[in-house]
Amino acid sequence: MSLHPSLKTSKAGKKHRTVLKRYERLTTLKEKGLLKDGDSVFGMPKLKIIKIKVKKEKAEEKPKDGEVAVAAAPIPTAPAAKAAPKAGKEAKKK
Residue 42, domain member (yes or no):
yes
H-helix or E-strand spanning residue 90 = helix 78-93
Query: Band of the pLDDT at 19, cuts 50, 70, 90?
Result: confident
Residue 94, domain member (yes or no):
no
Report the distance separating Cα 73 and Cα 48, nearest Å: 47
Residue 82, domain member (yes or no):
no
Report the distance separating Cα 87 and Cα 94, nearest Å: 11
**What are the tens digits of pLDDT across the range 43-78?**
888 888 877 777 777 766 666 666 665 555 556 665
Domain of residue 25 covers: 15-50
pTM above 0.75, yes or no: no
Residue 28, domain member (yes or no):
yes
Residue 34, domain member (yes or no):
yes
Amino acid at 61: E
